[in-house]
Chain A
Amino acid sequence: KAGVTQTPRYLIKTRGQQVTLSCSPISGHRSVSWYQQTPGQGLQFLFEYFSETQRNKGNFPGRFSGRQFSNSRSEMNVSTLELGDSALYLCASSSDRNTDTQYFGPGTRLTVL
């Protein structure tokens, strides 16, 4: 099976802009979770989508949002970008629960100038 794919791999944006990241899970996986990784805060859970519904949410402001399509592909959107949003954004999929084994994509490196 093909692994989790994320596009784009690198992004450079300026403050105030918005960005959309895409994730395609492993075929057959219905749970897609998003994480933000920064040197200071480490890996933090953003949210999880399952069967097109947001099932769980971390402690991030409303500027961070996402959605999932019927084919389980997921997008994450960040509006009104801030410098502190610069991070590696990781997507992970699992067959059922997001606390089961997670299969991660390579990540999208977002730099906000």
Chain B
Amino acid sequence: SQQGEEDPQALSIQEGENATMNCSYKTSINNLQWYRQNSGRGLVHLILIRSNEREKHSGRLRVTLDTSKKSSSLLITASRAADTASYFCATDNQAGTALIFGKGTTLSVSS
């Protein structure tokens, strides 16, 4: 089934550094979303980018989308310890009836 796959699975950085995580998917999409989850809690929506958009910003977040490569990246600039969480990309399935989530990237930011 269509599914976003995040890379890397885990990422450890120091406070102040930038964190980049990638997402690849298999078939055409209408939009791609990124979510954050803190340790077994609910997911928090970060950003939605539509298939006709190439880049989007929100605060310290920058998301790019390359539909020709079926990939997206999430950049968090000037990371903080509070950014420690799992990050998931989600795409709509081909029928447009559900969101399909990847397995996530676990980001650890140490001070």
Contacts and interface: CB of A to CB of B under 8 A. Distances in A.
Interface residues of B, number: 22
A106 B41 CA distance: 5
Dominant secondary structure of chain A at its interface with chain B:
strand
B99 A42 contact: no
A11 B104 CA distance: 25
B33 interface: yes
A104 B43 contact: yes
A76 to B, nearest CB: 15
B42 A99 contact: no
A102 B43 contact: yes
B21 to A, nearest CB: 15
Contacts of B30: 99
Nearest to B33: A101
B41 A107 contact: yes
A109 B88 contact: no
Given A42-B103, A43-B88, A99-B31, A104 B96 contact: no
A93 B40 CA distance: 19
B42 A90 contact: yes
Contacts of A98: 97-99
A72 to B, nearest CB: 18
Interface in A30-57: 33, 35, 42-45, 48, 55-56
